[in-house]
Structure formats: C-alpha cells, structure tokens
Structure 1
Amino acid sequence: MPLEQLRRYEGINPRPDDFDAYWERALQELDATAAEVELVPSAFQVPTADCFDLYFTGVRGARIHAKYIRPKNVPEPHAALLQFHGYSGNAGDWADKLSYASLGYSVFSMDCRGQGGGSEDRGGVKGNTLNGHIIRGLDGEPDDLLFRQIFLDTAQLARIAMDMPEVDAERIGATGWSQGGALTIACAALEPRVKRLAPVYPFLSDYRRVWEMDQAKDAYAELRNYFRLFDPQHKREQEIFTRLGYIDIQNLAPRIQGETLLGVGLMDSICPPSTQFAAYNKITAPKSLEIYPDFGHEGLPGLNDRILQFMQDL
C-alpha cells in the first residue's frame, strides 16, 4: 500500500466478539498466579552491574527464565527496560544489554516459553504442535493458545520489575524486534503502566491480511501448513481467523497507555508493513514512527540509537 493508505489502514482480521472478556479472564488467571521469583547470580559478571538469572512462574505453572542486569552505584529507585526477542530465539548475550545498564537502568530480558532459551513449555494442548507457536492450541479451547500464555508472561515480567525495590514502577520501558515487537505491544497493553515502548516491525498482527497477500511463508508459514493439513478447502477459514484474533496484537493495541515509537521497513516481506500499521493505527496514546522506505526485515541503521535516546526520557 502507499504510505498515505498505510496511515489509515485498520486491519481485516476478525476480532472475536468476546475479545475483551477473554483478556480480562486471562488477567484474572495471571493475578492468581504467584510469581515465585528466584534470582541466581550468573556466571557472567561485570564491575558495574550485578547479573542474575531470574526465574518466575507464569500461568499454567511454567517456569520462565529472564536475564536481569542491575546496575551498581546508581540512585534507587531507577528506570528499567524490558526486552523481548525474535521468533524462535532467546534473550541473547549479556553484553548487548550493558549499554542500558551503563545509563543506570535495570534490564530484564525474557526467554519465551518453548523457544530457544531457558523457559519452560508445559505443553498439554490438543492437536498439532509441529512447526509453529501461532497455531499451538488452535484446536483446543481459546484459553489454550500458546501466545496467550506468552503474552501473559510479558505482563508478569513487567509486574516483577515494577515490584523490585530498586526499580521505579513509573519508569518502565519495553522494546523488541519482530516477535519481540509484538510482545512489546502485548506487554504494554496487558500492563498499561509501561511508560514507553519501542516495537520494531512487530509480528503477530492481522493474520488474514498476511494470508490474502500470499505472505503465509517464512515466519507465517505455519498458517499455510495448518490449512493444508486441517482445513484444505478452507471450510473453517472464518472460524480459524476469528480464533487467531484473540492473539492478534492489533486488537490489544487500543489498551496501550504508554508513549510509543514504532520502527518499520516498507520493504518488509516477513511482517508486511500493512499488518504493522493495523496495530499502530489503533494506538491512541502518544506515538511516532521511524520509517525506512528501502529496508525490509533486517537491521535498520541508527534505530537502536534512536530507541536508546527515546528511553533516556523515561
């Protein structure tokens, strides 16, 4: 779409009629889940910060792992940053978090359950579990969708950060790229006290648009695989996309209260720009765009620096 049309695009994936009740019920489950936080000093340490492996309990009893860096010799309480990683990955190296710690920020970087890090996936869903987390739980009850649980994990991590005595609960930021961008949006929607968020080309948005553009490949390939295996004539297409609407970040975006900076490459064929704008255009809080016309799903020059400066104002 031309940029002027993208700025008006509102998405086409169905929104379930009980979407708000679905997420209120989910948050009630989270409220009833004791976090049981455990901090284990990491083998990686630096003179300017304490580094911990942080473990907590998410919904359905899974133990979730995050890396936690707490700066030394800075005023308390201080700001904190939540970081979320790309699809199938993990929290990454300790070293790439030290730029924020050097500014006096605590940093919390979560491993998504069932992906490449140290978090637990308790399983227990009906139907297909092969080649994709978007479709995991799609054949059971809506509450069993895996990304429901992962979205709730991000909110649990935000609450844990806010409860740390060294952290100022009113100075929390969140950021991530691709899946990490989607989780940034979900986190700030489900824990609206997040003050600033910087999602970059967010994943998990406007699934039907992805399908109709014939872009159900790469990160979205599981959508095509699911239809080929379980609905080859698309007799259940409306039902399936409506159920996916529960975990469509564009439907969560209106809940965001924090100031938002979104980075987008207009040549992105992994997470099509229109799907990103579907979420961005629903954010009613203060917001701004960093647009890269000639870039796709790749490094965006200068954007990490821009995000760091944006977060300095927490």
Structure 2
Amino acid sequence: MPLIDMPLEKLMTYEGRNPRPDDFDAYWERALAEMKAVDPQVELRPSEFQVPYAECFDLYFTGVGGARIYAKYVRPKHAEAKHPAIVQFHGYSGNSGDWADKLSYAAMGFSVFSMDCRGQGGFSEDVGGVKGTTLRGHIVRGLDDHPDQLLFRAIFLDTAQLAGIAMSMPEVDPDRVGAMGGSQGGALTIACAALEPRIKRLAPVYPFLSDYQRVWEMDLAKDAYAELKDFFRRHDPQHKREQEIFTKLGYVDIQNLAERIQGEVLMAVGLADTVCPPSTQFAAYNKIKADKNLEIYPDFGHEGLPGFNDKAMQFLSKL
C-alpha cells in the first residue's frame, strides 16, 4: 500500500497538531446560547416532487444572524406515529442533492432532513457582514474578524438547530435521530452530534475541517483546503500571524468538538486520501469517547468507498 501519511499504528494514536483555543468550551457554550435564543420560524412548503409513499417538503428556518436556511424534508406516509429520523449534510460547495437520494431511508420508515449549507450550492442564505477577505472560501471567512464571525461557527450551529427542529416534529421520536454525511458532510455530522448530543447514531465519511495545521504541514493546502494557502499568500505572506491564525481556526476544528459526542459512531476513512489526509481524520476519531467503530479502506482516497453506504444504512437502521 502506498504511504501518503503516517503508518496505521501511528494513525491509531494520533491526536492532532492544530492549537485548541483556551476558551474553546466557553466559545461554544456562548454560541449555543445564541442559537437557542433564535426564533427559528420554521416553514414547510409541499415540494413539486412527490412520491406515493412519502411526502416531500421544502423546509426553511431562521439561523443565527438572521439567515434563512433551507433543507429538504421527506416524511414517510405510513410510518409509525413516532418514527426515527436522519439529518444529512453535503460536501463542500455542494447542496442537499436530489429528492431521490432520500427515498431509501423514507421507505424504511425514516423522516429525512437534508440541509443546504449557507452560501454554498443550494438555497440557504449567507448574510455576510464580516471584516476582511471573503475571497475563495468559507474556512477563512471571518479570520480577520472576531472569532464569533467565523462562518463555520454559524454553519455548525445550523446543523444542531436543524437536528433540534427534526426532534421537535410531532411525527419524529427525538430519541431515535441519527446523522450522516461525507467530506464536509462528515465534518458537519461530527459537529452536529457534538453540539446536539441527543443524536444517537452518526455515520461520518472522511470528515473535512479537521487539524488544519497538519494539512498545512503536509503541503496539502490545495483542493478543498486551497483557501488556507491563498489566505497566507495574500494576507500573511511571511507567516508572522501563523500561530494566531491556526489558533483561531481551532474554534471550528472538528477534532476539538469530537469529545462531546455521546451517540454511537460508525466512521469510514480511506488511507490514500490526499484531500482530507488520514491523520486529520484520525485526529477527530481518536478524540471520540463514545462507542465507535472505524471502517478502513487502505487503497481508497476521497471517493466512493465500496460497501460503506450499505454498512451505514444497516447501522442507522438500528435506530
């Protein structure tokens, strides 16, 4: 097997390089208090797309900062009164995808909530309003402003708020809600379960947004992480602010949130992943204290992992 990162035995104990801010816990408690103070003003509109065995809705809610956030909501027609639900999250720059992608879970009796990240490829708003650059990337949005202005702070809160909305639906059993997603969606799955600890099962795939300094040191600040290199080249070309920048990114580093997870975890990683390096994924996985299992694909990178969707469905079906 080609080695693009640490040997597996080192990966299994690696716990990250990126600094963790001293006030990290207080930062997120303050953020959650802000989220809980928001009136979500949930709105459901029947979608044009419908199928005989499920109802499909366009769901809108108000997130922190006043942004209107969009999610697809699929509700089975003939499920038990209180049934399980899944919240789904998409990859970086994408959107919630096609309605058809949600129907296999609806056919199993699950409600499905699939969120568009604010300002990316779907219908959720990015209300902006930060100091400094907004060029080429959401990771760096807010780095020249107060840490509360980091865009991924708001996106992480949107995931937790959506999960709470799902749990509040009269047809959903709040004790049987799971989360899933790949890449950015894997990161948001981890963030969601960390900030909404009632999530019972989660299935992240090669999570993004972890251990930024390790990405930089591996010279892999390209592809999904390219904006890190662009930010340094344009705004700190001699790296005089390097410690400050990576510490600020530590607020939205999922490895620092992972220990909050209480639900059971099934995670997948490809050891040939040059987009989200394996060590950055292990940094998050190794900090999870809840029950967890890891599916390893030695020859695979940031791509489809054969059989994992089936394993994730079997794992989540136990809800």
TM-score scaled by length of structure 2: 0.98
Tell me if 1:87 matches 2:92: yes
Tell me if 1:279 matches 2:284: yes
- Structure 1 stretches of at least 4 aligned residues deviating more than 2 Å after TM superposition: none
Q: Amino acid of the residue matched to residue 18 of structure 2?
A: N
Report how far residue 73 of structure 1 moved: 1.0
| RMSD over aligned Cα atoms | 0.4
Structure 2 equivalent of residue 107 of structure 1: 112
Tell me if 1:144 matches 2:149: yes
Identity of aligned residues (%): 77
The whole-number CA distance in structure 1 between the counterparts of 2:191 and 2:153 is 10
Structure 2 equivalent of residue 26 of structure 1: 31
Report how far residue 299 of structure 1 moved: 0.4
Q: Amino acid of the residue matched to residue 13 of structure 1?
A: N
Report how far residue 76 of structure 1 moved: 1.3
Tell me if 1:258 matches 2:275: no
The whole-number CA distance in structure 1 between the counterparts of 2:251 and 2:79 is 41
Q: Amino acid of the residue matched to residue 146 of structure 1?
A: L
The whole-number CA distance in structure 1 between the counterparts of 2:19 and 2:66 is 30
Give secondary structure in 2 for the equivalent of 1:154: helix
The whole-number CA distance in structure 2 between the counterparts of 1:51 and 1:307 is 23
Structure 2 equivalent of residue 75 of structure 1: 80
Q: Amino acid of the residue matched to residue 58 of structure 1?
A: G
Q: Which runs of 5+ in 2 are unaligned?
A: 1-5
TM-score scaled by length of structure 1: 1.00
Q: Amino acid of the residue matched to residue 120 of structure 2?
A: Q
Give secondary structure in 1 for the equivalent of 2:118: coil
Aligned pairs for 1:1-314 (under 5 A) are 1-314=6-319
Report how far residue 74 of structure 1 moved: 1.2
Q: Amino acid of the residue matched to residue 123 of structure 1?
A: G
The whole-number CA distance in structure 2 between the counterparts of 1:312 and 1:240 is 41
The whole-number CA distance in structure 2 between the counterparts of 1:37 and 1:89 is 23
Deviations 1:234-275 (A, max 9, x none): 001000000000000000000000000110000000000000
Q: Amino acid of the residue matched to residue 259 of structure 1?
A: E
Deviations 1:139-175 (A, max 9, x none): 0000000000000000000000000000000000000
Q: Which runs of 5+ in 1 are unaligned?
A: none
Deviations 1:190-231 (A, max 9, x none): 000000000000000000000000000000000000000010
The whole-number CA distance in structure 2 between the counterparts of 1:99 and 1:297 is 24
